[in-house]
């Protein structure tokens, strides 16, 4: 079993390039099911969630091959419409094949995702929306069973759910008639999915706004599409630059996708310089405390909440983080408290009182983003931090250790079943 070992205190500076967005690539892979033929996806991150989604597509009869960061998906013939529990339980995003299967074959049998460590991950909004499109749905024995065909309709979402918006888009692009999705999610990953579907021949307008219009078409064609840069991976490395003094440059993404995040970093005392596909961050003075409210895009992204909690743990004052998207996304706080952070949780509020320094400690990665944030905290903590359960981090960060070493961090990945490994130097670019 692996762990990430960090020796804090090294100056962090340099340039790191992010990959394609995990939260787009997974849905674009599902969208490939909508067209017979071979779809090519470029800038696909090499992360475990993509590998699981490839297994899901293979179970459905598609053939997936990877060459470096390019995937080809041959969805000419689908032989099943079932996304089985053993795969869906590994990666809840696999429920996004629901809409694509309804669109392509008019049937879907997808395991309910079940809860996870950040919240219940319900799918009631997905189901209500699909039923509005005329899809017959039953949920028995832990599975969603859906039978179409879907027809155009006006659907208003109770909450701008990213996954529900994506499933409704993929279920409606081949449906007869006009579909309007109101209170739709506006994340850049939605815009990327709509762009790919339109390249395939769909007729979608309004992606990125709260109202998306879809005119059903008869068929779609396979395409060659490049995945949008990962704004959350980018924000993670920008926080690394803010934790130390930088300058750190992050490339490979659209800074406009992090508007409110960059604004918060400036309010916290960072110098933020934007260019077309990169941001350079540095800091001279103290970290100033600012309150954070997570909200659907364009609000502050919940996926960067843990990283900002780490940053605020070292601010010269107190700040309140309000988590409005997931009901259980403060579990990271218990782990960073082991490093000396002073955080009080009350429901969906976290009061973070800045402390002069964090101290390295053995900690466990509670989830994908919390695990990455613990490594970030270790970069500036006094002494050694050992983060275990790093399989969570592998789900969404390709080459996390290597990219941090490029910035000068003393960080290494070890096999903790080897008793001597944890004692060895963590290495690092300047080791």
Active site residue ranges: 116
Residue number with CB closer to ligand EPZ (119 or 362) = 119
Binding mask 262-301 for ligand EPZ (x = CB under 6 A): ----------------------------------------
Per CB under 6 A, contacts with ligand EPZ among 181-210 are 185, 187
303 binds ligand EPZ (CB under 6 A): yes
Residue number with CB closer to ligand EPZ (128 or 355) = 128
User: Do 309 and 338 touch, CB atoms closer than 8 A?
Assistant: no
Size of the site for ligand EPZ (CB under 6 A): 26
| Dist. CA 136–CA 199, nearest whole Å | 29
164 binds ligand EPZ (CB under 6 A): yes
Quick one: which of 42, 159, 203, 256 contacts ligand EPZ (CB under 6 A)?
159
User: Taking contact as CB under 6 A, which single stretch among the options 162-170, 195-203, 216-224, 306-314 is the one that binds ligand EPZ?
Assistant: 162-170
161 binds ligand EPZ (CB under 6 A): yes
Binding mask 311-350 for ligand EPZ (x = CB under 6 A): --------------xx------------------------
Chain-centroid distance of CA 109 in Å reads: 25
Residue with tokens 């692009």, as numbered in its chain? 173
Binding mask 68-97 for ligand EPZ (x = CB under 6 A): -------------------------x----
123 binds ligand EPZ (CB under 6 A): yes
For binding to ligand EPZ (CB under 6 A), which residues are involved?
22-23, 26, 93, 119-126, 159, 161-164, 185, 187, 302-303, 325-326, 368-369, 396
């Amino acid at each position: 079993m692996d762990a990430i070992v960090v020796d804090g205190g090294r100056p962090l500076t340099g340039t790191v390039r992010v990959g394609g967005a995990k939260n787009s690539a997974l849905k674009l892979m599902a969208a490939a099911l909508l067209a017979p033929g071979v779809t090519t996806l470029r800038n696909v991150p090499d992360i475990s969630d993509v590998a699981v989604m490839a297994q899901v597509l293979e179970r459905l009869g598609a053939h997936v091959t990877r060459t470096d960061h390019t995937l080809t998906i041959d969805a000419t013939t689908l032989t099943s419409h079932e996304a089985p529990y053993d795969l869906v339980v590994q990666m809840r995003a696999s429920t996004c094949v629901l809409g694509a299967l309804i669109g392509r074959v008019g049937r879907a049998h997808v395991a309910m995702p079940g809860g996870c460590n950040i919240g219940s991950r319900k799918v009631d909004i997905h189901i209500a929306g699909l039923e509005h499109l005329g899809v017959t749905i039953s949920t028995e024995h832990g599975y969603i069973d859906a039978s179409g065909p879907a027809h155009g309709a006006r659907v208003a979402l109770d909450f701008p759910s990213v996954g529900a918006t994506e499933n409704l888009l993929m279920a409606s692009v081949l449906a007869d008639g006009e579909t309007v999705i109101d209170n739709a999610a506006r994340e850049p990953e939605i815009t990327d999915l709509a762009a790919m579907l339109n390249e395939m021949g769909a007729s979608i307008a309004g992606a990125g706004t709260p109202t998306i219009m879809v005119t059903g078409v008869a068929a779609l064609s396979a395409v060659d599409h490049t995945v949008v840069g990962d704004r959350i991976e980018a924000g993670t490395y920008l926080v690394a630059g803010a934790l130390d003094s930088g300058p750190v440059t992050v490339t490979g993404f659209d800074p406009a996708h992090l508007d409110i995040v960059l604004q918060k970093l400036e309010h916290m005392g960072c110098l933020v310089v934007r260019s077309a596909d990169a941001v350079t961050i540095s800091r001279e003075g103290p970290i100033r405390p600012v309150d954070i409210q997570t909200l659907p895009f364009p609000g502050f992204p919940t996926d960067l909440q843990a990283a900002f909690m780490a940053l605020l743990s070292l601010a010269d004052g107190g700040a309140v983080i309000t988590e409005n998207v997931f009901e259980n996304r403060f579990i990271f706080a218990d782990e960073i408290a082991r490093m000396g952070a002073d955080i009080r949780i009350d429901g969906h509020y976290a009061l973070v009182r800045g402390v002069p320094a964090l101290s390295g400690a053995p900690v466990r990665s509670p989830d994908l983003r919390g695990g990455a944030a613990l490594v970030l905290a270790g970069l500036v903590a006094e002494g050694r931090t050992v983060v275990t359960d790093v399989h969570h981090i592998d789900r969404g960060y390709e080459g996390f250790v290597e990219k941090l070493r490029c910035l000068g961090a003393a960080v290494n990945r070890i096999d903790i079943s080897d008793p001597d490994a944890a004692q060895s130097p963590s290495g690092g670019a300047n080791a």
